[in-house]
Structure 1
Amino acid sequence: MAEFLDRLVEVGPELATSLWQTVLMLLIAIPIAVGLGTPLGIWLHTHGPRGLQHTPRIHRIVDAIVNVVRSFPFLILLIAIIPFTRFVVGTTIGTAAVIVPLTINAIPYFARFVEQNLGQLDPGVVEAARAMGATRGQIIRDVLLVDAKPAIVGSATIMTVSFISYSAMAGLVGGGGIGDFAIRYGYYRYELPLMVVAIVLMIALVAVVQTGGARWARALDKRR
């Protein structure tokens, strides 16, 4: 036990850095994904078969692109867009190099969530707003987004939890992160106690995100 504690103290700074790298990936990638994925999801819903302004041809094209990018395995995407990553951040290694594919993968992922969240709302509310003379913009802003806000926050929470596991692949481009720490010490060096510590930290991070997101969603739910 004493030997393990000494070893833990020795790698403590590296462990803390790895944890911060994971948090940094999420702090940058998730807000960008939400900021760009939300309007994309709104567009998919409003221009879909049940939307306010159905445009079949354009919708089919955008829908197909979203499906392709969302279905791409993150590991393959990480490698496939290396030239684009270099163009955007000037490097293909490090935490910044992971944030680019993480964000690209997260945008359509969240857009599909938003589309589903809006599609589950009562269509009668939209019809009532139309009957009152609300414009399309007012319906989206004051009806759809207001009613779907708790569900959207819940979806953002689910996405964040999922992408914590995706960040574990950061080690492939030298991006670090708590997952990379667990792989390096647990798989390559067979220091299983350190891997367990890293896994516990990942579980704790997931628990914090899940609890915080659930409370935020409940606070926004006007039905409670």
Structure 2
Amino acid sequence: MDKLLSLIIPSLQETLYMVSISTLIAVLIGTPIGIILVITRKNHIMENKGLHNIFSYIVNIGRSFPFIILMISIIPFTRGIVGTSIGTTAAIVPLTVATIPFFSRIIENALLEVNKGVIEASQAMGATNLQIIYKVLIPESMPAIILGITITLVNVIGYSAMAGAVGGGGLGDLAIRYGYHRFDKNLMIWTVLVLIVMVQFIQISGTILAKKIDRR
């Protein structure tokens, strides 16, 4: 058991490191992209068909790449950012690139749930576009955003496991190198159990938090 823990704990730490950093960056970049996708839509507060189409196409292109192909295809970019294409830090780059368009659509869908009547009422009271975004759209859609972040975290955990297939580190790398190649079924089972517990914890926590802040 001690040997098992000595393998699983460092790999779990690597997975948490990859998932947390890549998700944080994706949220910071994907949120404004999602906002732009919403406010530039037809009949919205800053309608701009050309800008909306440009961002929509970029997001669609980003989401069309399978993660393994994306990870391999941007190796030169990854190496240029962190100086290497192998390891947990290097894996953060493709994880983030893959997650940004995914989270952008999450934000778009969350903001589109906001009742148009609330937006129109804010405009009638003289609210600026910036005020509508930060005092109406985001607060009103916060439960959906929290659930979206939860889905994104679970999605990134799956990506990080795949990153292990090409030397990305973490639990996926552990399962492949020690579990699969060395035919250690016990390690494989424990790795899967740890991933299941992680996903369940994130999903339950996100659901509880979303319910607590839901004002509807």
Q: TM-score of the superposition, structure 1-length normalised?
A: 0.93
DSSP-derived class of the 1:93 partner: coil
Counterpart of 1:3 in structure 2 is none
Structure 2: runs of 5 or more not aligned: none
**8 Å CA contact retained: 1:185, 1:192:** no
Q: 128-137 or 207-216, which moves further after superposition?
A: 207-216
Q: One-letter code of the match for 2:130?
A: G
Residue 62 of structure 1 deviates from its aligned partner by 1.4
How far apart in 2 are the matches of 1:219 and 1:193? 39
Q: 1:208 aligns with which of 170, 194, 201?
A: 201
Match of 1:138 in 2: 131
For the residues of structure 2 that align with 1:50 and 1:113, how far apart are their CA atoms? 20
Equivalent AA in structure 2 for residue 125 of structure 1: V
Task: Report how far residue 102 of structure 1 moved.
Answer: 0.3
- RMSD, aligned α-carbons: 1.2
Whichever residue aligns with residue 78 of structure 2, its letter is T
In structure 2, what is the equivalent of residue 71 of structure 1? 64
How far is the alpha carbon of 1:108 from its aligned partner?
1.0
SS of 2:168's equivalent in the other structure is coil
Q: Structure 1: which amino acid aligns with 2:169?
A: G
TM-score between both structures, scaled by the size of structure 2: 0.96
User: Any stretches of 5+ residues in structure 1 without a counterpart?
Assistant: 1-7
Q: Write out per-residue CA displacement over residues 141-165 of structure 1, whole angstroms, 9 at most, x where no aligned residue.
A: 1010010011001000011111111
Correspondence for 1:54: 47
Query: How do 1:1-224 residues align onto structure 2 when only pairs under 5 Å count?
Result: 8-223=1-216
1:131-186 per-residue CA deviation (whole Å, 9 max, x = no partner) reads 11110001111010010011001000011111111101222332211122122333
Aligned length: 216
Partner AA of 1:132 in structure 2: M
Q: Using the TM superposition, give the Cα deviation of residue 217 of structure 1 relative to its aligned residue in structure 2, in angstroms.
A: 1.0
1:50 Cα deviation from its structure 2 partner? 3.9
* CA deviation map 1:28-71 (0-9, x unaligned): 01111111111110011001124211111221121101001012
- Assess, with a 3 A threshold, how the Cα gap between structure 1 residues 192 and 146 changes in structure 2: closer, same or farther: same
List structure 1 runs of 4+ shifted beyond 6 angstroms.
none
1:9 deviates by: 2.1
In the TM superposition, residue 113 of structure 1 has moved relative to its aligned partner by 0.7
